[in-house]
Amino acid sequence: MRWYTNDLTYILPNQIFVFGSNTQGRHGKGSALFAKQKCGAIYGQPHGIQGNSYALCTKDLTKYVHPSVSKDNIIEQIIELYKFIEKNADKDFYIAYKGEGINLNGFSPKEMAQMFLEAFKLSNVNIMNLRNLVFHKTFYDLIIQLNKS
């Protein structure tokens, strides 16, 4: 695992931007909008690889109470992501989540970090094999802190 510090403004051909999406794949705000405008995210596609982006469906626009997608569902998607990352060692995967602020999906940064950590434990993917996984520094620090407690 590695980390980055600044907000991303572009993605190189060997990089994949991992962002939170909604069930309709609208990609209209936040990191999803960046993914659509700069990374090839496809309008209407709520999850998986698309261009130089990878969507995790974390929000259901048909529900008015958030968070609207279950933690278990998100963890399952993150496990799929880890397996995909492991099979694509020639690409770097930049995770959009940060360890501060708010998420449009209704989960706190701590809750999102816990889901990424839980997915590691359930995935049977060796974290040391994921040298191409790149978290924002604040999110990386949160995951490390949660892993110690």
Instruction: Count CA atoms within 13 Å of residue 137 on its CB side.
Output: 5
**Residues 112, 15, 8: CA angle, nearest 5 degrees:** 65
Note the pTM of the prediction, 2 decimals. Answer: 0.95
**Per-residue model confidence as pLDDT tens digits over 62-119:** 998 888 999 999 999 999 999 999 999 999 999 999 999 889 899 999 999 999 999 9
- Across 91-115, b (16+ Cβ under 10 Å) vs e yields bbbbbbbbbeeebebebebeebbbb
Work out the average pLDDT over 36-58.
97
Q: Residue 67: what pLDDT?
A: 84
Structural domain of 82: 2-148
What the block records as the tokens of 44 is 């209407």
Q: Residue 87: what pLDDT?
A: 94
Percentage of the chain modeled with pLDDT above 70 = 99
Mean pLDDT for the chain overall: 94
- Name which residue leads in pLDDT, 128 or 8: 8
CATH assignment of the domain containing 7: 3.40.220.10
Domain tally, the chain: 1
Alpha carbon 149 to chain centroid, angstroms: 22
Work out the average pLDDT over 110-129.
90
Q: Residue 125: what pLDDT?
A: 84
Q: Residue 65: what pLDDT?
A: 84
Q: For residue 126, is pLDDT > 90? A: no
The region that residue 99 occupies, defined by phi over 0 for left and psi between -120 and 50 for alpha, beta otherwise, is: alpha
- When pLDDT is cut at 50, 70 and 90, the band that residue 4 belongs to is very high
Residues whose CB falls within 8 Å of the CB of residue 82, separated by 6 or more in sequence, listed in order: 119, 120, 123, 125, 130, 133
Q: Residue 124: what pLDDT?
A: 86
